[in-house]
C-alpha cells in the first residue's frame, strides 16, 4: 500500500499521468477537482456550493474540501493505495490529511511534483478548454487566477512535504511517456524502501 500525492499547478498533467499510474500500479485515484465537477454536474448541495468558487478559479473552503475527501477515502476499499490528485492544496489540507491517514494507520509515502513553466501551463489549459469545454479552462483571466492561487496558497504545500523528506520534483516537460517514466522512477524508488 502506497499513498502518493501528485502535485503541480493547473495544467501540469496530473490527470493524464494519474490515469497511466493507475493502469500500471493499480492505485485508487482521488481527484478533488473531478469529484467537485461530478457534484456540480449533478447539482448536489456540495456541487452548488463548490461551483461559485470553481467558476472564479478560487479554492473551495478547506472544511468543505477536507470533509469531502475524507468521506471519499472512507468509501474506497483500496489495497494498492491512493493517488491524491489536486489535494492537498493548502497547508491545513495537508495537516488534515496526515492526521486522518494516521488515524487509519497509514501515511503519505511521497509527494511528487510536475514542474512546468507558466506560459506552457496557459497554453495547455487553453488547448484542454477548447476540447473539454471546461469553463475554467476557456477563459484566460480565470486560468491566470488559478495559477496565481496556486502560487499564493498551494506552492507552499511542497515545503510541508519537503520538511518530512517526502518531496520529489520532476520535469513536467517532454512527451507523456517521458514524464511518466520519470514519475515511475520516483515511485519505484519509494517502493524499494518500503
Give me the residues that bind ligand AMP (CB under 6 A), please: 10, 32-33, 36, 53-54, 57-60, 65, 86-87, 89, 93, 136, 146
Closest to ligand AMP by CB, 146 or 168: 146
In whole angstroms, the minimum distance from the beta carbon of 145 to ligand AMP comes to: 9
User: What's the CA gap between 10 and 2, in Å, rounded?
Assistant: 24
In whole angstroms, the minimum distance from the beta carbon of 29 to ligand AMP comes to: 12
In whole angstroms, the minimum distance from the beta carbon of 50 to ligand AMP comes to: 6
In whole angstroms, the minimum distance from the beta carbon of 135 to ligand AMP comes to: 10
Closest to ligand AMP by CB, 60 or 109: 60
Closest to ligand AMP by CB, 21 or 60: 60
- Residue-wise burial string across 71-107, b where 16 or more C-beta atoms lie within 10 A, e elsewhere: ebbeeeeeeebbbbbbbbbbeebbebbbeebeeeebe
Residue whose Cβ sits closest to ligand AMP:
33
Up-side HSE of residue 132: CA atoms within 13 Å toward CB?
Answer: 14
Closest to ligand AMP by CB, 84 or 193: 84
In Å, how far from its chain's centre is CA 31? Answer: 6
Closest to ligand AMP by CB, 60 or 116: 60
The answer to whether the CB of 83 falls within 8 A of the CB of 29 is: yes
User: What's the CA gap between 25 and 183, in Å, rounded?
Assistant: 12
Q: What are 121's three cell numbers?
A: 501551463
In whole angstroms, the minimum distance from the beta carbon of 156 to ligand AMP comes to: 14
Amino acid at each position: 500500500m502506497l499513498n502518493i500525492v501528485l502535485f503541480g499547478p493547473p495544467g501540469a498533467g496530473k490527470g493524464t499521468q494519474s490515469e497511466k499510474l493507475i493502469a500500471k500500479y493499480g492505485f485508487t485515484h482521488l481527484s478533488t477537482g473531478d469529484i467537485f465537477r461530478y457534484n456540480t454536474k449533478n447539482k448536489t448541495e456540495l456541487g452548488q456550493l463548490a461551483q461559485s468558487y470553481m467558476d472564479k478559479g478560487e479554492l473551495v473552503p478547506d472544511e468543505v474540501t477536507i470533509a469531502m475527501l475524507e468521506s471519499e477515502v472512507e468509501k474506497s476499499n483500496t489495497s494498492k493505495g491512493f493517488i491524491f490528485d489536486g489535494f492537498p492544496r493548502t497547508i491545513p489540507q495537508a495537516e488534515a490529511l496526515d492526521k486522518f491517514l494516521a488515524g487509519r494507520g497509514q501515511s503519505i509515502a511521497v509527494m511528487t511534483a510536475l514542474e512546468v513553466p507558466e506560459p506552457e501551463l496557459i497554453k495547455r489549459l487553453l488547448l484542454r478548454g477548447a476540447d473539454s469545454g471546461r469553463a475554467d479552462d476557456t477563459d484566460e483571466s480565470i486560468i491566470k487566477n488559478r495559477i496565481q492561487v496556486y502560487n499564493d496558497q498551494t506552492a507552499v504545500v511542497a515545503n510541508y512535504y519537503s520538511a518530512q523528506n517526502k518531496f520529489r520534483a520532476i520535469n513536467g516537460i517532454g512527451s507523456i511517456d517521458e514524464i511518466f517514466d520519470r514519475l515511475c522512477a520516483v515511485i519505484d524508488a519509494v517502493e524499494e524502501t518500503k
